Chains A and B, each alone.
Chain A
Amino acid sequence: MSKDVIGAVMVVGGGISGMQSALDLANSGYYVYLIEESSAIGGVMSQLDKTFPTNDCTM
C-alpha cells in the first residue's frame, strides 16, 4: 500500500448500516461521504414503529 492513500471513505446508503459505518469512520479519523438516494437518511428502520425485542422507539 503506497503512503499517499486518501483518508476518505464513500458510504453508499444512509440506512442504519450506512450511518453506523459513517460514524465509526468519522470517529476514527476519516472523512466520510455518505451518499443517500432520497432526501433524508434513516432508511427502512426509520419507518419501523418499535424494535424487537426491546420495543424501543425506533427514532
Chain B
Amino acid sequence: MEGDPGHFSARVYQTPRYVDISKCTSCADCEAVCPVELQNDYEEGLTTRKAIFKKYTQAIPGTYAIQKTSPAPCKLACPAGLNVQGYVQMVKMGNYKRALEIIMEDLPFPGILGRVCTHGCEDACRRCEVDQPVAIRDLKRLAADQYDPREIQLSSKPKRDEKVAIIGSGPAGLSTGYFLARKGIGSTVFEALPEPGGMLRVGIPEHRLPREVLEKEIEVVTNLGVEIKTNTPFGPNLTIDQLFQQGFKAVYLAIGAHKGIELGVPGENLKGVRQGVAFLKDVALKGTTEIGKKVAIIGGGNVAIDVARSAIRLGAEEVSVIYRRSRDEMPAFKEEIQATLDEGVNIVYLSAPQEILSDDGEVAGVRCIRMELGKTDSSGRRSPIPIPGSEFDLEVDQVISAIGQQPDLSSLTDITGLEFSRWGTIEVNSVSYATDIEGVFAGGDAQAGPWTVIGAVATGKEAAESIERYFDGVDMSAGREIAPIEDVEYRPVDEVEPGVDRVKMPELPAAQRAGNFNQVELGYTEEEGQSEASRCINCSYCSDCGLCVEACLPGAVNHMELPVERDLDVGAVILTSGTDVFDPAKLEQFYLYKHNPNVMTSIEFERILSATGPTNGHLVRRSDDKEPKKIAWLQCVGSRDVNQCDNGYCSSVCCMYAIKEAVIAKEHAPSDLDCAIFNMDIRTFGKDYERYYERSKELGVRFVQARVHTIEEDSNTGNLLLRYATVDGEVLTEEYDMVVLSVGMEPARSAVEMAKEIGIELNQYNFVQSEEVAPVASSKPGIYVAGVFQGPKDIPHSIMEASAAACAAGLDLSSARGSLVKERVFPEEKDITGEEPRIGVFVCNCGTNIGGIANVPEIVDYVKGLPNVVHAEHNMFSCSQDTQEKMVNVIKENNLNRVVVAACSPITHEPLFQETLKDAGLNPFLFDMANIRNQCTWVHSDEKEKATEKSKDLVRMSIARSRYLEPLEYLTVGVNNPALVIGGGISGMTAALGFADQGFPTTLIEKTDELGGSAARQLKKTWKGSDITAYIQGQINKVENHQNITVLKNTEVVDSSGFVGNFETELKVGDLSQTIKHGATVVATGGRATDTDEYLYGQNPRVTQWHDIEENLDKFDDINTVVFINCVGSRDESHPYCSKLCCTASIQEALQVKERFPDARIFVLHRGIRTYGEREDLYREAREKGIIFIKYTPETKPTITEVNGKPEVLVFDAILGRYIQIEADLVNLATAIEPEENNAVTSAFKLPVNEDGFIMEAHVKLRPVDCSTDGVYICGMVHYPKPFEESITQAQAAVSRAVNVLCRQQVNVEPIVSTIDQDLCIGCGLCIKTCSFSAIEAETIEGLGVRAKNISALCKGCGVCAVACPQQAIYMNHFNNDQINAAIKAGKSIA
C-alpha cells in the first residue's frame, strides 16, 4: 500500500472462488458429489465439510466456494503431470470410470503404468510425514482393473487433414499417436519388430506386465484411429524424405534405446555371455531363450532384476546378481529387489566383474573384485572403489550384462541435419522436442536416454503439442517453459493425524512363481483400494476431479478462474482484521486438549450449543455422545499469562461468554447440569453484565476462585479430574464429564503480517499501537483500526470503535462525500389495485429449529388448500441469500401480490423479506410473517404434533390477514443538517469537533460555566500514564474557536419537539430562552463519582475518594501505609453494577504512591480485580512492586475506626483465614459512578433510562450508540462508566451514526403510523394523552373546534391511540380493523 491520507493505492490479491456468485443457487448438488472431506473450520473442526463448500448456511455471499491451493506434490512430481489427487479420490469413491477419465487425460496406459511406473509421485507424497506414502501406482491399476480403459470416452478435437509418421511403437511413439489423435491429427506408427509396444513388450517381463493388459491399452490408442505397421523398420527402405513424400507432414522419431552397454572386461565375447535387453527381447517374442544352469547377472537396475527373475522362471538353478554398491544404492525398485530375493536369487553386493573366465571357449565363471564405498559422486550416491587383492571367482555358465542401454543409432546417422549428444541420443529443443530438421521431432529413450515409461509418455505428450502448433504455424515454445511454483501452500498435515498402514499389495506366493510368467502382484480388491485411497491427505484441498462441474446445472463452477490482483484507490483505510483464538494445543501437556475430546475450547462449545452446529444444539460430549452431568470452565487460557505464553493481557470477553455458555448449557441439558467456572476474578464490567453474573448464580452456576493446577484423565470414562487449591489452601480433586477452556484472543496472524508490511506500529502483544486521545488512529495517518486488532474487547465496544473509525475516515474525506457512491435501484412497483389476492407462502425449516420439530411438509400441504394461496413451499433457510433470489423469481412467475413467510421473528427478519418484495416489484407492506419458530417449535419442542398444529393455525391467521394488506408509501421529510451536542465534557467536545470538522454547524451546550467536564477537573493522567491536561485545554480552545461550533455555557435543555432530521429544541441560556433547529442530537451529559458515608469519608481528612488522594499526598508527611478500598457503594444494592474504572484507577494511584514513597506499605482491598484488556499489565506491575491485594466479600466488608486521628482498617483475609488490622495513614475509596442528573434531557428527547439511571441504547450489543429515539445518540458516561479513551471512541461513533442522517437531503419515515379522520374526531384529547411519543397534537379548526392531528414522523405505530379513541376515528396503517379482524376470525377455530 502506498500513498497519503486522501490518496492511498492499495493492491489486494483476490483468491479465486471458482464459483460464479451470480450463477450459484446454493443447491448443494456440488457438495454431494465432492470426494474431498476436510475439517470444517467454521465448526472448529468438529465436523467435516467438502472442498466445495458454503462457509455457513446463512453466509453472505450465500454461494459456494472451492478451497484449492498449489498443485499437489504428487502431480508436480509426475513427468506427465497426472492429476494424482483427483484419481486417488475417485478410486476412494469407487468411481473408477471417472478415475480413468482423469488419468487418461494425460496418459493412454493406466493399467500398464499402474503396474510398472517408477512412481516418483509416491516419493513426493506428504503422507510420508505421517507414515508411508499412498500406494498411488497400485490405485491407478485398480481403476484400470475395475473398468475397461477402452470404454472411456475421450475428448477429441475435430479431425484435420495432416498426418504424422511415428517411428517406434514404444510408450513414447504410441503416446504421441494418442495425444495427436485427440488433437484431431492422424498418424501411422512404424515398428521394426513383429509386435508393437517397444520396451513395454520386449523390455518388461510378463510377470510384471501381462500381455493382455498391454494389448488392451495399445487398443486404446488404435481405437482413436492410430495405425500401427509392424515389421517396418526405419532405415534404407523407409527414410524421412520418403515419409514426407508419402504425404506425412511431420515425423516423430522414437526408436528407443535397445542396445545394451558392454561390460568392457576380458571374456565378454565368449559364448554364454549376452546382453540383458537381448535376453528379455527373446523371452518376450519367443516365450523362451537359452538359459544356463548357473547364471550371473551384472548390474543393479530394473533390467538386471527383470533378467534375474526371468532366468529363475526359465529354469536356471542358481542365479546371482552382481552389483558394485550396496542394497541401499540399488536403482531397482525396493519391492522388486525383495521379490527377487524371495524367488531365490542371490545378490552379491559391493562386487564388480573383472574378467569372464572360460573353459574350452565357454563361460566357466566370473572373476570379481570386492568394492568399498567412497565419497558421494554426481549421482548422489557413494562411489564404489575396488579393494586391492580382494578378487574372488564365481562359478557360472552364463553371464548376462545389464548395466545400461543406449539407442541404436545405425538407422539415423546418415540423416543430414540430425544432431546427437555425446551420450548418443538425438538432440532436440528442450521445450518443443523439435530437431533441427523442419517437421522432425524426437522423444522417448532415443532422445532422453534410457528413462522411465512415464517419462516417455511425457515426451510424447509434449511432442504432440508441438506438432499441433507446427501445423498451426504458431510458436512451438511460447508459454511452455515450466515456471517454478513459489510459496507452495498445502493443506497442513495434522500433528495428530492417526497413522494408518499402507495396504499391502497381495502377491502370488513365491513357491508358485517358478516355471511360469504369471503376474506376481495380484492387484487390490475394491475394498483394499478404497481404504488405501482414503489415506490421501488431499494436499491441494480440491482434487480437481471435476465432478462438481458436471453436477452444477447452472454452470457456476469454473476451475480455470485465476487469482486477481486489484489496485484500489481509496482515501482512507480501516483495519478490522479481528482475532485468532488462542490455541490450547500450545499447552497440551497441561490441558490435554488434543488428547481428550471432552476438553474443548469455548468457541467449539459455542458450536455445540448452536442449533445449526455439529450436534444441532444437543449438548453431548465428543468421546461417547453422552449428555454431560458436570462441566467445568477454565478461565484465562492464553490470557493473563506470562509464564506459559506471552499473553499478559486480559482478553476482556471470556468471563462473559463462559457465564453465558454455562447458563445456556443448563437450559439445553435435560437434567440438572452442574456448571462450575474456575476463575481468578470474574470480570463482568460492562453494562448489565454484573446483573447477568448475579442471575447466573441464582440459576445455579458455580464460581470457583481457583486456578486448576493439574488435569488428569480417567482413561476408562474419558472424564477429567481437576485438582486445585481453594482460597484457604485446601487441595481438592473434582471429576468432570467435560472441560471447556475459555480461550483468549490474539491478533489475527495474517493481520499482524499485513500491518508489518504496510508499516503500522504494533505494541508488545501485536495489537495496533494507538494513543488514548485518538483510540482508532494507527501510527500512520489515514489508516484507522477498530475491534480486537486494536486491543482485546467485546462486541459492543468493537462496534463503537468501528463507527468511530468510520467517523475518523469520514473526517479525512468529507470534501469527497457522495462522489463515488451508487444508489441501489429497485424495479418499478407493480400496481395491484383491484387484483384478487394471490398469496405465496414460504415455510422455513430454519435448519432443524423448525423442521426438526414441526412437520413442515405437512404445513405446506395444508396451506396449499387455503383460499387465495397460489403457491406454497418450504425452505431450509428462508433467510439465506439463495432463497431470497428464488423468492423473487417465484413472486414474478406466479404473479403473487401477497407474501407470507412462516419462520422466525419479524423483529429481526421482516426488513430482509420486505427488501425481497421490493426486488420483485412488490410494495414491501404486502408482506406478513408467522413466527412459528419462537412461538411454536421452540416453546413446544417436546410436543411435535401440537407444534405442527399450532404452526398451521398461525400461518392460517397470517394468510387471512395478508388478504387485507394494502400497499403503503414511505413519507419523506427534509433534514436540517446542524447538530446539537449536550454536555461539554470530553465526550461532548469530541463529538462537536467531529461534526464541525465535517462541515456540520454544531451547537454545544454545557450546563456549567466551563468546558472540559469531570476529566478536566480531576483526571490528569490516563491509565497508560499519558498527561492529558494539555490535551483537554487544547480541545477546549479548538471548540471555542471553531467557526462551525456555537458554544452555549450555563445552558440547559428545556424541551424538544420534532423528529429525526427535524428537531426543534428549546434551551435556557442563562436566564434567556432560545430555540434551535437541528437534525441530530448527541447526549453526553456525563457521570460522576458518588459520595459515600461509609469508611469515615467526610469525617476524617485522611479518607479521600478517587483522585483526591493526590492532594493528601502533599498534605501529610507521615505516609507509611496507604489503603485503597474498591467497590465502595458499587456492586451492592445501591449500585448493582460495576463502575468499570475503579480497579484500574486505584491501582494507578497506588503505583503513583509507590513511586513517591517506595517504602510505603500499600494495600488494595477489592472484590475481584477487573483490570480488563491491557490494563492487566498495571495489575501485574503493582503485585511485582509489592502492593498487597486482599479480596473481601459483601459479607466481610472492611471496617474503619479512627484511632489517634488515623483510620484503622480491619479486613478479613481469606487466604490467611484471619482478620488483619492495618493502621493506615491514608485511605482512598473508589466509589460508584452514577450518571449526572439529566432528567430534562431524557424527558425532552423521550429517552428511556435503565434502572441505574443510564440512558438505554437501542440494542445493548449491536447498537450501543443509538437511542430508541431516532436521531439521538449517546456517548461517554451517560451510557455507562467508561475510561477516557472509550468516551472518545463512543463520541466519534456517535458522530458517525448521526452523520448517517445529517448528510442526507431527506429521510424516510416509516408508514406504519396512525391517521386521524378529523370528521369523526370529537376533540376529546384522549389520544393526545395516551401517546407516549408526542405524535398527536391538538389543532383548532375553524367551525369544528379542537381536533386531533398526527405528526407522522414522530409516530412509532404502537396503536395505543386507535384503541383509546372512543369514536374509532383513528386508523392504523398496516394494522387496521379489517386486517386484525381477519386474523382473529381465522384464529377462532383454535380450540
Q: List chain A positions with a Cβ less than 8 A from chain B.
A: 1-13, 15-21, 24-31, 33, 35, 37-57, 59
Contact = CB atoms under 8 A, between A and B. Distances in A.
Nearest to B754: A12
The interface centre, meaning the residue of B569, B748, B802 with most chain A CB atoms within 10 A of its CB, is B802
Contact of B809 (A9, A16, A43, A55): A9
A21 B801 CA distance: 8
Contacts of A7: 571, 813, 816-821
A54 B1261 contact: yes
Interface in B718-777: 748, 750-751, 754
Contacts of A35: 12
Given A24-B1297, A50-B664, 8 more contacts: A5-B5, A10-B572, A28-B1296, A28-B1299, A43-B578, A49-B610, A52-B794, A54-B1259
B813 A6 contact: yes
24 contacts: A5-B812, A7-B813, A10-B570, A13-B575, A13-B751, A13-B787, A18-B578, A18-B802, A20-B786, A20-B799, A21-B802, A33-B568, A39-B53, A39-B54, A40-B54, A40-B61, A40-B62, A44-B578, A46-B42, A46-B59, A49-B617, A50-B664, A53-B656, A54-B1259
A24 B821 CA distance: 13
A20 B579 CA distance: 16
Contact of B1300 (A8, A16, A27): A27
Contacts of A49: 606-607, 609-611, 613, 617, 664
A33 to B, nearest CB: 5
Interface string B973-994: 0000000000000000000000
A9 B818 contact: no
Given A7-B571, A28-B810, A17 B65 contact: no
A4 B59 CA distance: 37
Contacts of A28: 806, 810, 817, 1296, 1299-1300, 1303
A5 B818 CA distance: 12
A51 B788 CA distance: 17
Given A17-B576, A21-B786, A28-B806, A10 B688 contact: no
A8 to B, nearest CB: 5
A31 B569 CA distance: 11
Nearest 9 pairs of A and B residues by beta carbon: A17-B787, A7-B816, A5-B6, A40-B59, A20-B802, A24-B806, A39-B65, A18-B576, A31-B820
A44 B819 CA distance: 33
Interface in B12-26: 12, 17
Interface in B58-75: 58-62, 65
A1 B748 CA distance: 33
A52 B56 CA distance: 22
Contact of A15 (B787, B1259, B1261): B787
Contact of A42 (B53, B56, B607): B56
Interface in B589-628: 603, 606-607, 609-611, 613, 617
Contacts of B795: 16, 45, 51
B154 interface: no
Interface in B1258-1316: 1259-1261, 1296-1297, 1299-1300, 1303
Given A24-B1296, A35-B12, A55-B664, A12 B787 contact: no
A50 B1303 CA distance: 35
A30 B819 CA distance: 7
A53 B660 contact: yes
B659 interface: yes
Interface in B539-571: 568-571
B821 A29 contact: yes
Contacts of B748: 13
B725 to A, nearest CB: 29
Interface string B814-842: 01111111100000000000000000000
B574 A10 contact: yes
B994 to A, nearest CB: 12
B675 to A, nearest CB: 15
B815 A50 contact: no
A7 B6 CA distance: 8
B1140 to A, nearest CB: 15
Contact of B575 (A3, A6, A12, A19): A12
B56 A40 contact: yes
A41 B813 CA distance: 26
A41 B59 CA distance: 7
A6 B1209 CA distance: 63
B817 A29 contact: yes
Nearest to A17: B787
Nearest to A53: B692
The interface centre, meaning the residue of B58, B575, B579, B613 with most chain A CB atoms within 10 A of its CB, is B575
Nearest to A37: B750
Nearest to A41: B60
B463 interface: no
Given A16-B795, A40-B61, A21 B812 contact: no
Contacts of A17: 576, 578, 786-788, 798-799, 801-802, 805
B1104 interface: no
B978 to A, nearest CB: 16
A52 to B, nearest CB: 4
Contacts of B60: 40-42
Interface in B1066-1091: none
B1074 to A, nearest CB: 29
B270 interface: no
B44 interface: yes
Contacts of B572: 9-10
Contacts of A52: 656-657, 659-660, 689, 692, 794, 1261
A13 B578 contact: yes
Nearest to B809: A9
B1192 interface: no
Contact of B573 (A1, A12, A30, A44): A12
B686 to A, nearest CB: 8
Given A16-B802, A52-B659, A8 B568 contact: yes
Nearest to B19: A39
A11 B751 CA distance: 12
A24 to B, nearest CB: 4
A56 B44 contact: no
Given A30-B821, A38-B55, A5 B816 contact: yes
B1356 interface: no
A59 to B, nearest CB: 6
A31 B822 contact: yes
A30 B610 CA distance: 36
A44 to B, nearest CB: 6
A17 to B, nearest CB: 3
A30 to B, nearest CB: 6
B789 interface: yes
B691 interface: yes
B8 interface: yes
B607 A33 contact: no
A21 B42 contact: no
Contact of A44 (B581, B789, B799): B581
Contacts of A31: 820-822
B555 to A, nearest CB: 19
Given A39-B17, A56-B1261, A3 B820 contact: no
B818 A21 contact: no
Nearest to A1: B6
A29 B683 CA distance: 39
Contacts of B607: 47, 49
A17 B576 CA distance: 6
Nearest to A2: B6
Nearest to B608: A49
Contacts of B578: 13, 15, 17-18, 43-44
A54 B787 contact: no
Nearest to A26: B821
Contacts of B805: 17, 21
B1021 interface: no
Nearest to B569: A6
